[in-house]
Amino acid sequence: MRCPFCGHLESQVKDSRPSEDGAAIRRRRLCPECGGRFTTFERVQLRELTILKRSGRRTPFERDKLARSIAVAIRKRPIDPDRVERMISSIVRQLESMGETELPSSAVGELVMTQLKALDDVAYVRYASVYRDFRETQDFAKFLGDEGLAEVAEDEA
């Protein structure tokens, strides 16, 4: 593993342990060149996924991009980071188990919305506002009315 500090091509594994409910291996590494310490994670990847965007463009699936979009939705919410990590792992496993290597972006969005709704109503509405491209307050009102989440809007106000 290349050192992120000095670029040296070798590093030593100092500690390995399971993480994320056994879905990943966390490794502490040491660079023999500069002495820098860093952590890596090793996860099982069943298949390479490609996301088909609404525009027709194809991009490789990125777990980190999924995590960032969820982080925006849950910002400043009282949610345990371990629950979020388990949710992300669950979404990735569901996507990989669909049996397709090319998935529409809508499949990812719907899975995230389903998981967020079970996790936190406010995060769910935040994600939906971006995913569904709300432009006006009426879009929020209609969405909240359709989903039976009108009380979430009152709590957030």
Indicate whether 29 pLDDT > 50. Answer: yes
Q: What is the DSSP letter of 136?
A: S
Indicate whether 48 pLDDT > 90. Answer: no
So what's the pLDDT on residue 148?
60
Confidence of residue 58 (pLDDT cuts 50, 70, 90): very high
So what's the pLDDT on residue 153?
47
Residues 23, 60, single domain; the answer is no
Taking a C-beta distance cutoff of 8 angstroms, is the pair 35, 25 a contact?
Answer: no
So what's the pLDDT on residue 4?
94
Residues 97, 27, single domain; the answer is no
Residues 6, 53, single domain; the answer is no
- The side-by-side arrangement of strands in the sheet containing 37-43 is 12-19, 24-30, 37-43
Residues 36, 103, single domain; the answer is no
Residues 61, 99, single domain; the answer is yes
Q: Which of 111, 115, 124 is nearest to 77 (CA)?
A: 124
Residues 50, 40, single domain; the answer is no
Side chain identity at residue 94, one-letter code: Q
Residues 49, 38, single domain; the answer is no
Between these two residues, 8 and 142, which has the higher pLDDT value?
8
So what's the pLDDT on residue 137?
74
Residues 69, 39, single domain; the answer is no
* Residue range 63-94, pLDDT digits in tens: 999 999 999 999 999 999 989 989 998 999 89
The domain in which residue 133 lies consists of 45-156
* Residue range 13-24, pLDDT digits in tens: 999 998 766 778
What are the start-end ranges of the H helices in 15-96? 63-74, 81-96
Residues 51, 78, single domain; the answer is yes
So what's the pLDDT on residue 145?
77
Number of domains in the chain: 2
Residues 57, 6, single domain; the answer is no
Residues 139, 65, single domain; the answer is yes
Residues 1, 62, single domain; the answer is no
